[in-house]
Amino acid sequence: MNYNFYTGEVLLIDKPYTWSSFQAVNKLKHAIKQHPSLIVDGVKTKPKIGHAGTLDPLATGLLIVCTGKKTKTINDLMGMEKEYTGTFLLGATTPCFDLEKEVDKTFPTEHITVEAIQQAAKDFTGIQQQVPPIFSAVMINGKRAYEMARAGEEVEMKSREIEIKEFEITNVTMPTVSFRIVCSKGTYIRSIARDLGLALNSGAHLTKLCRTRIGDFKLENAVTPQEFADKFATK
């Protein structure tokens, strides 16, 4: 496939576990910097490059990266519905609602049935208000919420409207619950973990997350940053 990073490309990247979205974009930036499409009228250009929606370091899956004039489409791409798969662990919570921090509280799970989990998932489907995690990139008075939280500052998160279009429980092996979720822009799966635990009179946190789709773009068509560098960078 011929690329033109100046006129613009939409690249489908499979972000590795523990990588930040910035690291993935930076890897691509270094891979394409010598590409001949960046020479315009004899002058080497530095096209814009950016991603259409952050993935947390502990999440894997589809990251859309745009270059050149295609960066103008980033807002449209970010607005598309997203699909995730992953696992929740019932009976324990963490301050960030995932594995980034240690468990801070434990709760009973003996009363939780598969039927109760299925019903809770059904109840979560639809348009609703969701409070983002304090350890998130939400801006509050010019600061990222996670920066304030890590500095020990008091963080008040405001709810926002989201839509959970599909919430499928794909497997239950207590205390682990596997799921598939289709949701709107701005939905935090970590917050769903928190709220699911509360709905079940227990606690929960996210232990695995993979973004499998953004709009019609699918993870199965993506390559890792290293695969992109190896196969598509100019030698």
**Burial of residue 110 (number of CB atoms within 10 Å: 0-12, 13-18, 19+):** exposed
Catalytic residue among 14, 56, 98, 195: 56
233: Cβ–Cβ under 8 A, 6 or more apart, which residues?
31, 32, 34, 35
Question: Helix, strand, coil shares of the chain as percentages rounded to 5?
Answer: 30, 35, 40
**Burial of residue 173 (number of CB atoms within 10 Å: 0-12, 13-18, 19+):** exposed
Active site (annotated) includes residue 56: yes
How far is the CA of 101 from the CAs of 55, 92, 150, 196, in angstroms? 17, 12, 12, 19
**Burial of residue 125 (number of CB atoms within 10 Å: 0-12, 13-18, 19+):** middle
Q: Are 141 and 132 in contact (CB under 8 A)?
A: no
Residues facing residue 43 across a β-bridge = 40
CA dist., res. 79 & res. 76, Å (int): 5
CA dist., res. 196 & res. 204, Å (int): 7
List the catalytic residues.
Answer: 56
